Chain A
Amino acid sequence: GEDVEQSLFLSVREGDSSVINCTYTDSSSTYLYWYKQEPGAGLQLLTYIFSNMDMKQDQRLTVLLNKKDKHLSLRIADTQTGDSAIYFCAERNQAGTALIFGKGTTLSVSS
């Protein structure tokens, strides 16, 4: 079955870059996603990448995909305290329907 793994915690200082890593097992994944969840809130779609791409940049966010190693990363440049949240990596499952989520990485940004 599909599995998505993430490190659980990341702590950075304001202004530094944050890199959140994710590995997945399903080689047939077509889309990979990054979501942000603030306390008590739903999930906000940050960005997604199609499996035939290896990089996507959107303002402060850079997504890198290494399909060979099944490794996905999210880089947040100039991290701000408002970026503190839980970040979920997700993949489209084999049936092409529901998303499979990692356990989430809690990003803590200190000033």
Chain B
Amino acid sequence: GAVVSQHPSWVICKSGTSVKIECRSLDFQATTMFWYRQFPKQSLMLMATSNEGSKATYEQGVEKDKFLINHASLTLSTLTVTSAHPEDSSFYICSARDNVGYTEAFFGQGTRLTVV
């Protein structure tokens, strides 16, 4: 099946610094990628939809200046958590949909962010 690679798998950063998370589709092109956030023992909450070559669409309540999304190519989307605070600590997961197949959405392995 299609593979989505997310990097890094885990990161610890100091409060006030910024962290970039990458999401790559390895064997297919993805015009659209999605970024989710998952709190412990909770479901996945959609943060934003990342569109190649255009601005991301953010869900209500998600600060676009806090969570910067860049989708510069058909295989790469990045999420930058700016001026991170401990409350931003969470599990971030991206998914990508194959432009051709359309039906399935494949997920990265997730990034555990801990802000200290």
Contact = CB atoms under 8 A, between A and B. Distances in A.
Q: Are A and B bound to each other?
A: yes
Nearest to B57: A97
Contact of B110 (A42, A98, A100, A101): A42
B93 A43 contact: yes
A103 interface: yes
Contacts of A41: 109-110
B45 to A, nearest CB: 8
Interface residues of B, number: 21
Interface string A44-81: 11001000000000000000000000000000000000
Contacts of A35: 107
Q: Which one of A31, A43, A45, A48 has the highest number of Cβ atoms from chain B below 10 Å of its Cβ?
A: A43
Interface string A92-105: 00000111111110
Given A45-B105, A101-B44, 14 more contacts: A33-B105, A41-B109, A42-B6, A42-B108, A43-B95, A45-B1, A45-B104, A45-B107, A48-B103, A48-B104, A97-B49, A98-B49, A99-B95, A104-B43
Interface of A: 31, 33, 35, 40-45, 48, 88, 97-104
